[in-house]
Structure 1
Amino acid sequence: MWLFCGLGNPGEEYKETRHNFGFLVLDAFAKKHRLKFEFYRDMESEVAYFKDKAILIKPQTYMNLSGRAVKKWMIKERIPLNNLLVIYDDMDLPLGKIKIAPKGGAGGHKGMVSIIEALGSSDFPRMKLGIGKPDHKDTVKFVLSPFNEEEKEKVKKVIEIAVLALEDLIYKDLLKTMTIYNSQTAI
């Protein structure tokens, strides 16, 4: 069983922002497979189940506290670290690039910092979705802003590719999935 955790912030005002890229991918996966997210107050997240293969969670704690919800699901479902995949935005990758890694640091991402601290380890897979760097120094404003019209077509393609990667991860292994998708760029 996989635990797919998409990172983002709850609320309409954040729905289409760069920081909600992880939520957008899980929403697309759920739509494709006709899954419905339900809010679990005690687990601080929205959740959908994909057969007996994956649990999709969107923490509703706001980004900087995402680790609370992830840890609760890891314990409840007895998910080993290597079966957790965190999906999130990454400013160090250009828009259109996806990178799947078996482990790594937080890279300054507050949601990842929270998860690593809550789990006491960074040894879990992640899917980084490139958003590029802002032209200005205000990174908070950048990640909390929506994708512009010019970027939206590329974002749509990234989401499609990311959904295929999640499907492959479920039915293949991590290494094969990394080999296929780390070389792709949505143009």
Structure 2
Amino acid sequence: MNKFLITGLGNPGCLYEKTRHNFGFFILDQIAKKNLIFFIKKKLGFISEFTFSGKKIFLLKPSTFINNSGLSVKYWMIKKKVLLKNVLIISDDIYLNFGKFRLRGKGGNGGHNGLKSIEKEIGTSNYARLRFGIKNFSNKRIDSYVLENWKREEINSLFTKLDEGIKIIFSFVENGLQKTMNLFN
């Protein structure tokens, strides 16, 4: 059976729950809710698993905080024997307009410390990543902006965007990276 590791980046704890930087956790929570599954606290993360289209999917929310996400990703890739081509990392992106998704099979980290950590731990930047735009139109420092709670108007739009993101994730599992990029980018 093919195995997939879908990792949402974020910071654990209620202090960070509604922050922009926790988009990865947020979308995985919505997938879990829709599929009536739960996360269990395990080594280096909160993990959930289920089967979709004959494929085993592991949802991972690292408990290492964003800056050390790579430790969790590497550990669970090895533990669950997931091939790199079946790993998808979901993160926020300060340079994309709010609400825009971008799926790529490789690339730079764009200054995102979670992506930097993953590259360091797995030894490559050739892994699939789904970024969600949270572009900062204010003059705030990036580190404080990403750790702010969503604004009310962002939350209203956020829920309408979630379905698109979830479709992209399940297409990645069902159709692979290239076909999914052709469909959604």
- Give TM class, smaller chain: over 0.9
CA shift, 1:134, in A, is 4.2
CA shift, 1:169, in A, is 1.6
Please identify, of 132-141 and 79-88, the stretch whose mean Cα deviation from structure 2 is larger: 132-141
* Aligned counterpart, 2:92: 89
Q: Is the 8 A contact 1:165 1:177 kept in 2?
A: yes
| Aligned residue-pair number | 180
* Aligned counterpart, 2:45: 45
- 1:106-151 C-alpha deviation (Å, 9 max, x unpaired): 1100000001000111110000000012411411110000110111
Give the secondary structure class of the aligned counterpart of 1:112. Answer: helix
Question: Of 33, 40, 65, which residue of structure 1 is paired with 2:68?
Answer: 65
Relative to the length of structure 1, the TM-score reads: 0.93
- 1:151-170 C-alpha deviation (Å, 9 max, x unpaired): 11221122221111112222
Q: What amino acid is aligned across from residue 33 of structure 2 in structure 1?
A: K
Question: Of 32, 35, 38, which residue of structure 1 is paired with 2:34?
Answer: 32
Q: How far apart, CA to CA, are the structure 1 residues paired with 2:173 and 2:138?
A: 37
Q: Closer, same or farther in 2 for the Cα pair 1:158/1:113, shift >3 Å?
A: same
Q: How far apart, CA to CA, are the structure 2 residues paired with 1:77 and 1:170?
A: 16
Q: Is the 8 A contact 1:24 1:159 kept in 2?
A: no
Q: Is the 8 A contact 1:44 1:60 kept in 2?
A: yes
Give the secondary structure class of the aligned counterpart of 1:13. Answer: coil
- 1:35-57 C-alpha deviation (Å, 9 max, x unpaired): 110000xx210000021421100
* Aligned counterpart, 1:132: 135
Relative to the length of structure 2, the TM-score reads: 0.94
Q: How far apart, CA to CA, are the structure 2 residues paired with 1:132 and 1:54?
A: 30
Q: Is the 8 A contact 2:12 2:65 kept in 1?
A: yes
Establish whether residue 107 from structure 1 lines up as the match of residue 119 from structure 2. Answer: no
Alignment of 1:133-152 (within 5 A): 133-152=136-155
Q: What amino acid is aligned across from residue 14 of structure 1 in structure 2?
A: Y
Structure 2 gaps, min length 5 = none
Establish whether residue 120 from structure 1 lines up as the match of residue 123 from structure 2. Answer: yes
